[in-house]
Amino acid sequence: MTSSDMNYLTIALPKGKLFEPAAKLLAALGYTAEGLSENSRKLVIANEARKVKFIITKTADLPTYVEYGAADIGIIGKDVLVEEEKDVYELLDLKFGLCRMVVAVPEVLRQEKLSDYAQLRVATKYPHTAARFFHDAGIQLEIVKLNGSIELAPIVGLAEIIVDLVETGRTLKENNLAEVARIQQSTARFIANRVSFKMKFDRISRLTEELRALVESEVGK
């Protein structure tokens, strides 16, 4: 970390559904920059007055940027933290972006017990999380990693089971899929690089407490 880096707080924000609420939450505390947008062509967006820099990353990459110190802090879903298993500090549950990770199957394949699905194939964006869940349940399955629409896998015969993140469950119903188990709940989390947390402790701890107060006030409404 150079002396120049020490003057700035670099914040990583994820592309996708969490970007807008994360940016709004930080902006409410004065942490924003001109031109800060999910679709910005700039790789680094700075607010020189506040000594803040923003980088916008793919969701799955964000914990890596924070772990290796390319960003001091970031906001990311708990689902990604669990899947990526990066060595970062999880400082605060920001309470937005609520969703759940579930196991789902076509209605016609629904069974009474989870163990009845042994030896089948699972499609998911979260292979490590899925593998841990089924291993802990004592069930052996084949796991296929996908990056696109997971609900398509059972329709075209790629897999009989999916593990995916859902908000309302509407997409599952529209594709005749039934939720048969819940793996975990997920919300947005505020994370920090371990070295940055020590070297920039005052700034990061102050922002953490400001975020905590703002989140609690929003929840209390």
Domain 3-97+187-219: homologous superfamily in CATH: Periplasmic binding protein-like II (3.40.190.10)
Tens of pLDDT along 76-126?
999 999 999 999 999 999 999 999 999 999 999 999 999 999 999 999 999
Tens of pLDDT along 131-171?
999 999 999 999 999 998 999 999 999 999 999 999 998 99
Cα separation, 80 vs 189, whole angstroms: 10
Residues 6+ apart with CB under 8 A from 76: 12, 14, 18, 59, 62, 63, 188, 189, 191
Quote the pLDDT of residue 195: 97
Contact 178, 105 (CB under 8 A): yes
Q: Could you tell me the residue ranges of all domains in the chain?
A: 3-97+187-219, 99-185
Q: Per CATH, which fold does 99-185 belong to?
A: D-Maltodextrin-Binding Protein; domain 2 (3.40.190)
Chain centre to alpha carbon of residue 66: 13
Quote the pLDDT of residue 3: 46
Secondary structure (DSSP) of 64-78: HHHHTTSSSEEEEEH
Looking up tokens 């994370």 gives 191
Task: Look at residue 50 and tell me whether its pLDDT is greater than 80.
Answer: yes
3-97+187-219 and 99-185 in the same fold: yes
pTM of the model: 0.92
Nearest to 76 by CA among 125, 4, 6, 11: 11
Task: Look at residue 221 and tell me whether its pLDDT is greater than 70.
Answer: no
Distances (CA, A) of 156 to 5, 73, 168, 181, 202: 50, 41, 24, 22, 53
DSSP-based three-state secondary structure for 102: strand
Tens of pLDDT along 175-214?
999 999 999 999 999 999 999 999 999 999 999 999 999 9
Cα separation, 208 vs 198, whole angstroms: 14
